[in-house]
A and B are shown apart, each in its own frame.
Chain A
Amino acid sequence: MENEFVTLTIDGQEVKAKKGITILEAAKQVGIDIPTLCFLKGINEVGDCRMCIVEVEGRRGFATSCIQTVEEGMVVHTHTPNVLEARHVILDLIISNHSKDCLTCTRSGNCELQKLATKFNVLNVEFEGERTQHKIDELSPSIVRDFNKCILCRRCIAACKNVQKIGAIDCINRGFESCISTVGDHSLNDVNCTFCGQCIQSCPTGALHEKETIDDVWIKLKDPESYVIVQTAPAVRAALGEEFQMEIGTNVTGKMVTALKRLGFDKVFDTNTGADFTITEEANEFIERFSKGGTLPMITSCSPGWVKYIEMNYPELIPHLSTCKSPHEMFGAILKSYYAEKEGIDPRKIYVVSVMPCIAKKFERQREEMKNSGIYNVDNVITTRELARMIKQANIEFTKLEDTNFDSPMGEATGAGAIFGTTGGVMEAALRTAQDTLTGKDLEKIDFEQVRGGEGIKKATVNIAGNEIKVVAASGLANAQKIMEEIKSGKADYQFVEIMACPGGCVMGGGQPIRSSKERAEKDIRKLRADCLYSIDEKSTIRKSHENPIIKKIYKDYLEKPGSHKAHELLHTEYEKREKYNI
């Protein structure tokens, strides 16, 4: 198919490039790395920052290489004196309006602007002048916005408005006064933000970051009165290694557990066990609804960004939500009841820290509904990134650590719990349990390939005990919106829906290691991380949640059975209509 390609010259090299690709991509093929800042593949391709300008022979002015597609016979120069001078000036201008306190910036070392400044050896700023001043918004439990570090690349807007279809932030004012803000410059806490954190993942600088709470953890770890338990979500182990320069998708479960023990946690447990509880309860809830004519389709409720989204945008559909708490909350509730009783510890002294790939969990943790007997199920949520920082601060050489296992008795989890961290995983885990429950057998067909993969919406029909069950797994809130509209208009013919707020699920959560625009363009990060979880599942001896011996034991000793009164009290919750704007 010769005509699908064009031949062009970039910096003297002949490039055979597929039609429709950009100069930027074609250059990459021959090892030419044109600098970019506002570019985020598939998400923000607008050419605003002007870093990627190149010269194209015969054309007046520069071409924008991140959006200009290749043409037959094009002759491109990426580093003429003209281009270099302009690029220097542009970079200089950006830095002239950027807060330069790199030493005290959370993104130092992983900042795309800083990298460019190094590359261009910016030693002094030629065009210093007035800087725009913004107050820092740190009122929300999840996100801190420091727009003194913003470079107006608008990647966050693209993520929020186009990918997630939320639009909590947008560009306001114009010209030099332009900035990214909310309506009326209110805190994110008071507007329609779901705290999914995709904006943080998109930000090239430190203008957006999680609200860090590791200081509280350090204090509790040093407090002899506190019994500090840490639990780690499934997706964390698939990404934590990246913070230590390990390959994307490396399973670091063992090293992570060792590191956590070294940090001084009294117990290191696995949120996957919590996930097994969730599955057991959720499968039970589904069967109840399915067989007794409850509200269908039933929608999963383990993604707190998603829960906040439905509460704000589709309160009338709340009855569709499963009443199950999310895994770490369930687990926290069990730890502060069953486990506390069993170990003879005052639950008020137990301090549960959840390590999550998610920043919405920080918000979820402090919801009033997430309390039992007046105490929070979980006391602190830190992200994958924050955990990495703790490990570094504790002088631990992560890559050299031996593997160890989670503490017993709560540490042993199933493969079903592991795949919770990727889109379609909750659905698959639930189907495994549901099919055994409905048939009363221990079935061997447990892989549900239809709900795996990176598509935003995956629909499948499964046959369980003679029942045709239609299921959907959607990730990303734009896709969630589509499903909600289907349900609202009565077009939905499915019974069970899994929704994850982040595109790709928890592995791509707002609390995960931040990868640069360049890496995101070159690698399928979602797939690499998800594959890690699927391989954990595959290697697990037990792959069905309800078969987890700990779960079985706790139901037997304490909760009686799934859906029991006690289970409801501890493991279920309720939701409320939430105003989008509290302004």
Chain B
Amino acid sequence: MKTLQEIEEIRKTKRKELDLRINTSSDTREKHILICHGTGCTSSKSPEILKRFREIIKEKNIENVRVIQTGCFGLCAKGPIVIIRPEDTFYANCKVEDCEEIIEKHIQKGEIVERLLCKDIDGKKVQKLDELSFYKKQKRIALKNCGVINPEEIDEYIAFDGYKALEKVLTQMSPEDVIDVITKSGLRGRGGAGFPTGKKWELTKESKGDQKYVVCNADEGDPGAFMDRSILEGDPHSVLEAMAIAAYTIGATKGFIYVRAEYPIAVHRFQVAIDQAREYGILGKNIFGTNFDFDVDIRLGAGAFVCGEETALLESIEGKRGQPRVKPPYPAQCGLWGKPTLINNVETYANIAQIILKGAEWYSSIGTEKSKGTKVFALGGNVNNIGLVEVPMGTTLREIVYDIGGGIPNGREFKAAQTGGPSGGCIPKEHLDTPIDYESLKQIGSMMGSGGLIVMDDTKCMVCLAKFYLEFTVSESCGKCTPCRIGTKRMLEILTKLCEGEGTELDIYKLEKLAANIQKASICGLGQSAPNPVISTLKYFREEFREHAIQKECRALECKAMSNITINEELCKGCGLCQRNCPVSAIEGESREKRVINQEKCIKCGTCLTSCPFKAIGN
């Protein structure tokens, strides 16, 4: 148990110690080697790098150097990432073998290891993190501490104003005050639908109930989105603090965080955070000496996308099949075990403490008229800088794809960007300048969603893409209501027919009819939005659907049944790269000769397409 004074003490001393993390001109003699321990870097062996650094430091008896695990820096494509503070040197794609050199050159001699520096879009090597164009247009609020603190040390969180907002709320603010600030900040739910957060809190506060609950939705199921995971891995206390603030506001004493079991690191770090907070008396009875009690439990999801839907999530917390409930009543009135329940998503919570500390005006000054603040996107697909980006609302898609994302690799063309995952839609080239906010995205037939942003180049077939999303929905539909259970299956069957060259124009009509009715008649958000990927691809890429149906052609060459991959004799230079890469030895031809594809052997995997440096392979 710690008193408020003791916590303030920790804040001061620790802050001084950690100043070099955010302040390059820090006058400390210490150096901190920060190593990303997000899932991406961890799977490319960053824990081994950390271990190696510590070994070397011990062997060489180096003083004043600390090696710290942090959350995600965002630029996952360049991982594992190592950053050295206070000078803010950014080393990309590090390997265990590189550690020795970094220590000897950088730490001991003060020289930069040039070869490990990251190349920016223009090809120039960049030394500092913030100099990278990837970071320049970003504004980090929700990700503020990610990559800065060690997520498993509560003191480091406290050092950067952690739990100060909770203290302020508990000692100086009434629940009404809190709702007022959150409402005025303009914060909207980051889980996808964009419901005003202040309003949600108010509704739950006003519901009568002897017991109320606060729930954090961390069931990030959108394939290709990993913002919530990164926050939980990099800054778990920010979520915990916000949940406590929410609990105080609505009158709850018990909270649950529902996390996917597929996120073991996030689960572990959040559990550590809970344990440390309990130890400090920040969770439990009489928090900060007030009469406010609150505690949080982790509930694990077990692989069901639909559990991201709030009522399905509640069912799952109750230990049942994650089948959504018909709304109304809404969880604010009738939630967990029939009690009023507040559900917000991870990223929404991650904004709360800073809004409380910095004020509603500060937050509402960022973003657009109706969409305030920032949004974190998981940028992926055919884009150079794959990773996590946080940008002010209103940033255009073009800025994200080209300025931050560094454009499309392999000299390919941008074809579409997909936002909102299986519930969202495709945005074509002509809308690249759309400012990203809830309303604009909706207007062009997509949605904000939880923040997956997948870029596609011209090798992507849009019918296949629609099919991909429907495959996802069909396998994730809970099966409760008819339109979603059978309707999405029928849509998938039609899309499969189209991709196999067996579709007709009538099928396109059927698709649209099904889509419209599934949208209207399904019980929950999953079903209602399941047809979106089809509707939006039909809207912008109808020609491609017609080509599949009538000419039996797939211009992207993705549909195997309709495409024979061939090598253009004129363009082929006989380099043999395709031949070497072909997994089934289907490419024939001698050393410097032009190559030919043996169609009988070809499995149309497309490896050769991407390996040809002369774009000589096509149909």
- Known A-B contacts A90-B521, A129-B490; the reply to A178 vs B485 at CB < 8 A is yes
Segment touching A, from B394-402, B459-467, B470-478, B568-576 = B470-478
From B304, B326, B479, B483, contact of A152 by CB (8 A): B479
B485 touching A89, Cβ below 8 Å: no
* Further pairs besides A93-B487, A174-B479, A175-B477: 13, Cβ < 8 Å: A47-B481, A61-B528, A89-B513, A90-B517, A93-B482, A96-B486, A129-B490, A171-B479, A175-B488, A176-B474, A176-B479, A176-B485, A176-B489
Q: What 4 A-B pairs come out closest when comparing CB atoms?
A: A178-B479, A175-B477, A93-B486, A89-B517
A86–B520 alpha-carbon span in the complex (Å) = 8
Instruction: Check B105 for interface membership: any CB of A closer than 8 A.
Output: no
Q: Which chain B residue has the least Cβ–Cβ distance from A37?
A: B482
Instruction: Check B321 for interface membership: any CB of A closer than 8 A.
Output: yes
A175 touching B485, Cβ below 8 Å: yes
Using a CB-CB cutoff of 8 Å, which residues 232-280 of chain B contact chain A? Answer: none
Instruction: Check B510 for interface membership: any CB of A closer than 8 A.
Output: yes
Instruction: Check B448 for interface membership: any CB of A closer than 8 A.
Output: no
Instruction: Check A322 for interface membership: any CB of B closer than 8 A.
Output: no
Segment touching B, from A27-35, A48-56, A195-203 = A48-56
A36–B522 alpha-carbon span in the complex (Å) = 15
Interface string of A149-192 (1 = CB under 8 A from B): 00010000000000000000001011111100000000000000
B486 touching A94, Cβ below 8 Å: yes
Chain A hits for B483, CB < 8 A:
50, 86, 89-90, 93
A89–B510 alpha-carbon span in the complex (Å) = 11
A130 touching B489, Cβ below 8 Å: yes
Instruction: Check A435 for interface membership: any CB of B closer than 8 A.
Output: no
Chain A hits for B479, CB < 8 A:
152, 171, 173-178
A96–B491 alpha-carbon span in the complex (Å) = 13
Q: Which chain B residue has the least Cβ–Cβ distance from A173?
A: B479
A175–B328 alpha-carbon span in the complex (Å) = 23
Instruction: Check B596 for interface membership: any CB of A closer than 8 A.
Output: no
A130–B480 alpha-carbon span in the complex (Å) = 18
Instruction: Check A127 for interface membership: any CB of B closer than 8 A.
Output: yes
Using a CB-CB cutoff of 8 Å, which residues 208-258 of chain A contact chain B? Answer: none
Q: Which chain B residue has the least Cβ–Cβ distance from A88?
A: B517
What would 27 A/B residue contacts be, using CB atoms closer than 8 Å?
A: A46-B326, A47-B481, A48-B482, A50-B482, A53-B521, A61-B520, A62-B520, A67-B326, A86-B483, A86-B517, A89-B487, A90-B483, A93-B482, A96-B486, A127-B487, A127-B490, A127-B514, A129-B489, A129-B490, A152-B479, A171-B321, A174-B304, A174-B479, A175-B479, A175-B488, A176-B474, A178-B478
Instruction: Check B523 for interface membership: any CB of A closer than 8 A.
Output: yes
Instruction: Check B493 for interface membership: any CB of A closer than 8 A.
Output: yes
Interface string of B505-523 (1 = CB under 8 A from A): 0000010011001001111
A89–B528 alpha-carbon span in the complex (Å) = 15
- Known A-B contacts A50-B483, A89-B483, A89-B513; the reply to A82 vs B520 at CB < 8 A is yes
A312–B164 alpha-carbon span in the complex (Å) = 58
Instruction: Check A495 for interface membership: any CB of B closer than 8 A.
Output: no
Instruction: Check A475 for interface membership: any CB of B closer than 8 A.
Output: no
From A50, A126, A129, A176, contact of B521 by CB (8 A): A50
A414–B35 alpha-carbon span in the complex (Å) = 89
A48–B521 alpha-carbon span in the complex (Å) = 10
Interface string of B526-550 (1 = CB under 8 A from A): 0010000000000000000000000
Query: How many contacts between A and B, using CB within 8 angstroms?
Result: 96
Instruction: Check A85 for interface membership: any CB of B closer than 8 A.
Output: yes
A53–B481 alpha-carbon span in the complex (Å) = 12
Chain B hits for A129, CB < 8 A:
489-490, 493
From A46, A67, A85, A94, contact of B517 by CB (8 A): A85
Q: Which chain A residue has the least Cβ–Cβ distance from B491?
A: A127
Give min CB distance, A471 to chain B, whole Å.
35
Chain B hits for A62, CB < 8 A:
520-521
Taking Cβ atoms with an 8 Å cutoff, the residues of B that contact A are: 304, 321, 326, 328, 474-483, 485-490, 493, 510, 513-514, 517, 520-523, 528
Most chain-B Cβ atoms within 10 A of its Cβ — which of A85, A94, A175?
Answer: A175
Chain B hits for A53, CB < 8 A:
521
Instruction: Check A64 for interface membership: any CB of B closer than 8 A.
Output: yes
- Known A-B contacts A89-B517, A175-B485; the reply to A50 vs B475 at CB < 8 A is no
Q: Which chain A residue has the least Cβ–Cβ distance from B475?
A: A175
A82–B479 alpha-carbon span in the complex (Å) = 23
Instruction: Check A380 for interface membership: any CB of B closer than 8 A.
Output: no
Give min CB distance, B541 to chain A, whole Å.
23
Give min CB distance, B313 to chain A, whole Å.
15
B489 touching A89, Cβ below 8 Å: no
Chain B hits for A44, CB < 8 A:
none
Instruction: Check A97 for interface membership: any CB of B closer than 8 A.
Output: yes
Give min CB distance, B559 to chain A, whole Å.
20
A126 touching B523, Cβ below 8 Å: no
Chain B hits for A67, CB < 8 A:
326
- Known A-B contacts A96-B486, A127-B490, A130-B493; the reply to A86 vs B481 at CB < 8 A is no
Chain A hits for B485, CB < 8 A:
152, 175-176, 178
Interface string of A68-92 (1 = CB under 8 A from B): 1000000000000010011001100
Chain B hits for A152, CB < 8 A:
479, 482, 485
A129–B480 alpha-carbon span in the complex (Å) = 19
Q: Which chain A residue has the least Cβ–Cβ distance from B473?
A: A175
From B474, B487, B520, B523, contact of A47 by CB (8 A): B523
B478 touching A48, Cβ below 8 Å: no
A82–B516 alpha-carbon span in the complex (Å) = 10
A47 touching B517, Cβ below 8 Å: no
Q: Which chain A residue has the least Cβ–Cβ distance from B328?
A: A68
A178–B478 alpha-carbon span in the complex (Å) = 8
A175–B488 alpha-carbon span in the complex (Å) = 9
From A48, A50, A175, contact of B476 by CB (8 A): A175
A126 touching B510, Cβ below 8 Å: yes
Chain A hits for B488, CB < 8 A:
175-176
Give min CB distance, A56 to chain B, whole Å.
11
B523 touching A48, Cβ below 8 Å: yes
Chain A hits for B474, CB < 8 A:
175-176
Give min CB distance, B70 to chain A, whole Å.
38
Q: Which chain A residue has the least Cβ–Cβ distance from B306?
A: A174
- Known A-B contacts A47-B523, A126-B510; the reply to A175 vs B478 at CB < 8 A is yes
Chain B hits for A46, CB < 8 A:
326
Interface string of A118-154 (1 = CB under 8 A from B): 0000000011011000000000000000000000100
A116–B377 alpha-carbon span in the complex (Å) = 47
- Known A-B contacts A90-B521, A127-B490; the reply to A50 vs B514 at CB < 8 A is no
A97–B487 alpha-carbon span in the complex (Å) = 10
Give min CB distance, B335 to chain A, whole Å.
17
Q: Which chain B residue has the least Cβ–Cβ distance from A93?
A: B486
A479–B480 alpha-carbon span in the complex (Å) = 29
A177–B474 alpha-carbon span in the complex (Å) = 10
Chain A hits for B304, CB < 8 A:
174
A129–B487 alpha-carbon span in the complex (Å) = 10
B520 touching A96, Cβ below 8 Å: no
A130–B490 alpha-carbon span in the complex (Å) = 8
Chain B hits for A93, CB < 8 A:
482-483, 486-487, 490
Chain A hits for B480, CB < 8 A:
48, 178
B478 touching A176, Cβ below 8 Å: no
A62–B528 alpha-carbon span in the complex (Å) = 11
Q: Which chain A residue has the least Cβ–Cβ distance from B480?
A: A48
A185–B521 alpha-carbon span in the complex (Å) = 31
A470–B520 alpha-carbon span in the complex (Å) = 56
A171–B478 alpha-carbon span in the complex (Å) = 10
A176 touching B486, Cβ below 8 Å: yes
B514 touching A90, Cβ below 8 Å: no
Chain A hits for B326, CB < 8 A:
46-47, 64, 67
Most chain-A Cβ atoms within 10 A of its Cβ — which of B328, B474, B487, B522?
Answer: B487
A93–B517 alpha-carbon span in the complex (Å) = 11
Interface string of A14-36 (1 = CB under 8 A from B): 00000000000000000000000
A54–B226 alpha-carbon span in the complex (Å) = 38
A364–B478 alpha-carbon span in the complex (Å) = 38
A50 touching B481, Cβ below 8 Å: yes
